[in-house]
Structure 1
């Protein structure tokens, strides 16, 4: 980072350079990256006085908007030969890969009061894929609602506590599991049905990527069936 900063100091300050530095600084700080630095800290990284930043971004909110656009701009567009279902899947999984690389970005996207230009362009592209694939505007409208934040590669998971929980001792964990099984046998049964990734964001025993793709495919398969059935919101039972 220090070598990059020394090299960057020789280049004139620009909006793009400010945004690149802000994204790099947030990436280095992990999931809370965008909240972990101030405009003053960013100015230090760039080797300028804080006031110099305000020639390129009006405030931190505008900076965050620009950071979102830079990240969303990394999402790969699908191959032109792909059918609509494969194309949407490619876009969403690319979005997920990008957001896993920039772990702070999902929280910032959710904090925006409205979609940024790059987010709007991305959503327009996804909508275009559905429409070009033959889906009606009516069905596409409801599909976008159903997919929600999953369109951008993330979702609020059922068991996500918002932070890492302390790891209990084996004895404590075993006792807690036994208590859970007695009080909530069906929950315990499902919790024990799969054991993959103990660092998962969706809870110990779940594989984040598998669960994300499982839900995505479930939705896309259902959308495909509705499309073939000629579903409309005015005649949903058709």
Structure 2
């Protein structure tokens, strides 16, 4: 029998199947992924290096999906675009988050996106010994606001009289509108703080 012109497995197909499997909440592993693809685990091992290899394929696939083009511009413009892409990624794939944060990043495309962010901060004037810390703060910010999408519409429900909270809740936005507004405000606050720190560094 002639071999098929298109290989049955590819990195993208494996990554897409893994994303679908993890998003579904089903148990995730090499054997489960092989079953979902209709292949044997040994076939998968011809393309990936075990469970960690699958996670990196997933990371790279999602990274290219949510940041299809590397951001350009000033350091703060690059921060904004990066945070928006990362937040969408985490918000739409919350079940994948524990897998991604629990493994060292090695995917070339994702490393390149972090390099763009780090280089923008260096070029913007942030000292070398603070850049990775700033990147970690930004990463945690995007992660937190991505997971915020999973919050219930009613975050607070006071059972006793309050001085201010109840009144504020009554007129506040709910659901996705609240999450979007809080993210934009939070991003403004983070940028204001970074600009202030940069100005202080320049004055020293």
Into which bin does the TM-score normalised by the smaller protein fall? 0.7 to 0.9
Alignment of 1:140-219 (within 5 A): 140-150=131-141, 153-155=142-144, 177=158, 179-181=159-161, 185-192=163-170, 194-197=172-175, 207-219=178-190
Match of 1:88 among 43, 67, 79: 79
Q: Which has the higher contact order (CA 8 A, sep 6+)?
A: 2
State yes or no: 1:115 paired with 2:105.
Answer: yes
Give the conservation status (yes or no) of the 8 Å contact 2:34–2:40.
yes
In 1, Cα distance between the equivalents of 2:131 and 2:85? Answer: 20
Deviation at 1:192, TM superposition (A): 4.1
Match of 1:24 among 20, 35, 58: 20
Using structure 1 for the length normalisation, give the TM-score.
Answer: 0.65
> Kindly tell me: are residues 157 and 66 of structure 1, through their superposed partners in 2, closer, same or farther at Cα, counting changes over 3 Å?
closer
Q: Which residue in the other structure is 1:225 paired with? A: 196
- Deviations 1:67-101, CA, capped at 9 Å, x for gaps: 12221233244553x22212210121122223333
CA RMSD of aligned residues (A): 3.5
Deviation at 1:187, TM superposition (A): 4.4
Q: Which residue in the other structure is 2:93 paired with? A: 102
Q: Which runs of 5+ in 2 are unaligned?
A: none
Larger Rg: 1
State yes or no: 1:12 paired with 2:8.
Answer: yes
Q: Which runs of 5+ in 1 are unaligned?
A: 1-7, 168-172, 201-205, 233-237
Give the conservation status (yes or no) of the 8 Å contact 1:9–1:46.
no
> Kindly tell me: are residues 98 and 224 of structure 1, through their superposed partners in 2, closer, same or farther at Cα, counting changes over 3 Å?
same
